Structure 1
Amino acid sequence: MPGDGDDRSRMPEWIGTWAGVIAPVSVLSALLFYFGYVSARAQYDYFGVDVDAVGLDTQHYVMRSPQPLLVPLIVLTLLGAGLLIGHAAIRDRIGTAGSRAVTAASAAGLVVLAAGTLLLAGYPVAGRWSYYPLVTPLLLAAGGGLTGYTGYLRRLSAPEARTIARRAASVLIYVLVAASVFWATATVAQFSGRGLAMNQARNLGDLPRVILDTKERLHLRDPTVQETALPAEEGQTFRYRYRRLRLLIVGGDRLFLVPEIWSPSNSTLVVPLDGSVRVQFQFQPDPP
C-alpha cells in the first residue's frame, strides 16, 4: 500500500537521524564516565582503597563527573567566547601591520609548543614534578592552538597557499590541541578527586557514625578507634564492639570504614555485610 512504501522510504532517514543523536550522547556518556572514574580513583586512593575494589557502577561515576568538570567547562567556555570575539576583531584588520603581528604570534606559538614538547620528552626527569601533568598539556594546547590559528589567518590572506601538506599539518595540530585539552582536563579531575579526599580527611566527623560489633577481635592499630569487650551472654555471638568509626563509602555488599580522626597510621576497614558483623548507624548529636 502507499503508506507502507512511504514508511519504508523514510526508514533510512529515521535511522540516520537517530544515529546522529545517539552517537554524540554515547561519546558524552563515555567522557563523563571517564572523568568521574579518574576523580573517584584519586579520591579513594588517598584512603588506600583501589576504586575498582569498591565496585561502583557506571551511574555513580557519571553522577560525580560534574564536580571535576565544572571548572574546565567554565574556563573553556569563557576562553572560547573570548577567542571568538578576538577573531572577529582580528579578521577585519588583516593587513601589513596585521601580517607582522601574525608572524610574531606564530613564532610565540612555536616557542610555547617547543617548551611543551621538551617537557613531554623530558618526562623521565621532570615527571616527578607535581604540576607536570597539567603544565605540559596546557603548553602543548596553547602552542598548538596559536600555531594553528596563525596558519588559518595566513590562509585567509593568501588562499592560494592552501596545499595538501598545509591542510594535513593543520589537522594534526588540531588533534594535538584536542588531545592536550583532554589530558589537562583529566589532570584537573585527578586533582579534584585528591582535593575532595583531603577535605574529607579534614572533616571525617561529618561522615555517618558507625558502631561495629564483631565475633573476633580485629587487632586494629588505629589509636582513635575504641574497642570494648561485650559481656558474655547466652546466645550472644558478638564479642567485641568498636566505636569512633565513620562510613567512607558503601560498595556492593561491603562497608568501607575509617577512624573519625585522621592520622598517618590510619587504615580503611573493609567490612562485609554477610552476618559476620553487626552494624549500627548513630544519629547526629544535634537535637531536633
Structure 2
Amino acid sequence: MARRSRTVQSRTAAGDAPEAEPSPPPDEPSTVEPGLGFEKWMGFLSSFVAPLTLVTALLFYFGYVSTREFFRYFGVDVDIIGLSTQEFVMRSPGALFIPVMVLMLLAAGAIVGHRVLRRRLGERPRTTQRRVIAAIAWTGIGFLLAGLVSAFLLPVLGDWVWGQLLTPLFLALGAGLTAYAASTVRALGGANVSRAVVVLLVLVMVAGTFWSTATVAQWWGLGQARSLASDLSTLPAVVLDTTERLYPGNDDISFQQLGDGPPAEGDAGAAATFGYRYFGLRLLAQGGGRLYLVPDAWSPDASTIVVPYDDVRVRFRFIPDADPPTS
C-alpha cells in the first residue's frame, strides 16, 4: 500500500495531469432537421379536415352562404324556402372551385419553398439565419397590422367591396408568415418561442382563410343571381290562376279576368274557381308550400311574387330544346 501511494504521488509530482477537454469548434453553420414545423402544422390541419362530417359541414356552410346571397338579390330569404342540407351541399362546388384550387396551389408552392428555404438556411451562419427569419416575421407582422386596420375601417367604409376580401387575406397571410417564423426559430434552437403562440397564429390563419373563402362564396352567389337576372328565359314560364286579384306592379306581367271571353280548351270550369290569370312569370324556386315567381325581365323595380300552392293553379311551360335531335 505504501509503495502504491508513492507511485501515485510521483506521477502527480511529475506533472501527469488528466487530459484536457477538447476546445469547442468555431462557429459553424447549424444543421436543420428536415422534418420541422411546417409539415407538422400541415399534418395538424389535415387531421381536422379529413373527417367526412367536417367536410360535409364546410360544403353545407359555403353552399348556404352562396345560396343566401343568390336569393337575397331577388328579395327572398333563403331560410323560408326550406332547402335541404343536400341541396345546399350540391350548390357549394361552384362557389368553392376557385378558392380550393388557389389554396392547393399555394400550399404546394409553400411546401416547395419551405424545403428550399430550410436547406439554404442550414448552409448559412447563425447571423444570416436570424436576418432571414426576422424579415419573414416582420413581413407577417406588417400584414397583420394592415389586416387589423382594415377590419376596424370596414364598418366605416361600407362601400369598400374589396375590403371584405383583403381584410381576411391580410390576416391569414400575416398570421401564416409569423407562425412560420416562430416555428423556424423553435426548430433552429433559437429564442424560446411558446408553442401556444404558434398555435394561436395558425388558428388566426385558418380563420382568415375561412373568412376569405366565405366572401368569395358570397360574390359567387351574387354573380350567379345577376347573370340569371340578365336572362330569365332559362327559367320555366308560368301561367298563374288566382282567386283574388294580384298587383305585381310590373309591366311585364299581364293578367286576364276569367269569364270575360270564351273559355279556352280545358278551362271550362276555371272561371268558377279562379277569377284571374297572369302571364309573363317565371319560376325562380319552390319550397315550403310556396311558389317564388319573378317577371320575364328583371329590373330595379321588379319583385318576387310569393304564392301558396293551395290557393292557385299553375301551368308550366318548360324551355324548348334549342337543338332537337333530327329524325
The alignment's TM-score, normalised by the length of structure 2, stands at 0.76
- Structure 1 counterpart of 2:195: 167
For residue 313 of structure 2, the aligned residue among 269, 273, 278 is: 278
Report the alpha carbon displacement of residue 258 of structure 1 after superposing the two structures with TM: 0.1
- Structure 2 counterpart of 1:125: 156
Structure 2: unaligned runs, 5 residues or longer: 1-46
CA distance in 2, matches of 1:256, 1:93: 62
CA distance in 1, matches of 2:318, 2:79: 30
Report the alpha carbon displacement of residue 37 of structure 1 after superposing the two structures with TM: 0.8
State the Cα RMSD in Å.
2.1
Name the aligned partner's letter for residue 153 of structure 1. Answer: T
- Does the CA-based 8 Å contact 2:65-2:218 persist in structure 1? yes
- Does the CA-based 8 Å contact 2:235-2:318 persist in structure 1? no
Residues 68-117 of structure 1: CA distance to partner in whole angstroms, max 9, x if unpaired?
A: 11111001000000000111111101124444232222211111111111
For residue 221 of structure 1, the aligned residue among 224, 249, 265 is: 249
Distance 1:51-1:103 versus aligned 2 partners, 3 A rule: same
CA distance in 2, matches of 1:138, 1:46: 26
Aligned length: 265
- Structure 2 counterpart of 1:100: 131
The alignment's TM-score, normalised by the length of structure 1, stands at 0.86
Residues 175-210 of structure 1: CA distance to partner in whole angstroms, max 9, x if unpaired?
A: 110111111111111111111111110111111111
CA distance in 2, matches of 1:81, 1:160: 27
For residue 72 of structure 1, the aligned residue among 83, 89, 99 is: 99
- Structure 2 counterpart of 1:185: 213
Report the alpha carbon displacement of residue 131 of structure 1 after superposing the two structures with TM: 2.0
Structure whose CA Rg is larger: 2
CA distance in 2, matches of 1:285, 1:226: 22
Matches within 5 A, 1:42-121: 42-94=69-121, 95-96=124-125, 97-121=128-152
Name the aligned partner's letter for residue 227 of structure 2. Answer: N
For residue 275 of structure 2, the aligned residue among 220, 230, 239 is: 239
Report the alpha carbon displacement of residue 62 of structure 1 after superposing the two structures with TM: 1.0
Distance 1:43-1:22 versus aligned 2 partners, 3 A rule: closer
What SS does the aligned partner of 1:161 have?
coil
Structure 1: unaligned runs, 5 residues or longer: 1-19
1:148 correspondence with 2:179: yes
Distance 1:206-1:145 versus aligned 2 partners, 3 A rule: same
CA distance in 1, matches of 2:226, 2:90: 20
Distance 1:230-1:199 versus aligned 2 partners, 3 A rule: same
For residue 204 of structure 1, the aligned residue among 232, 254, 261 is: 232
Residues 131-160 of structure 1: CA distance to partner in whole angstroms, max 9, x if unpaired?
A: 222110000001111111122222222x25
Q: Give me the identity figure in percent.
A: 48
CA distance in 1, matches of 2:320, 2:158: 47
- Does the CA-based 8 Å contact 2:241-2:275 persist in structure 1? yes
Report the alpha carbon displacement of residue 241 of structure 1 after superposing the two structures with TM: 1.2
- Structure 1 counterpart of 2:299: 263
Distance 1:119-1:283 versus aligned 2 partners, 3 A rule: closer
CA distance in 1, matches of 2:151, 2:319: 50
- Does the CA-based 8 Å contact 2:146-2:170 persist in structure 1? yes
CA distance in 2, matches of 1:242, 1:170: 63
- Structure 1 counterpart of 2:9: none
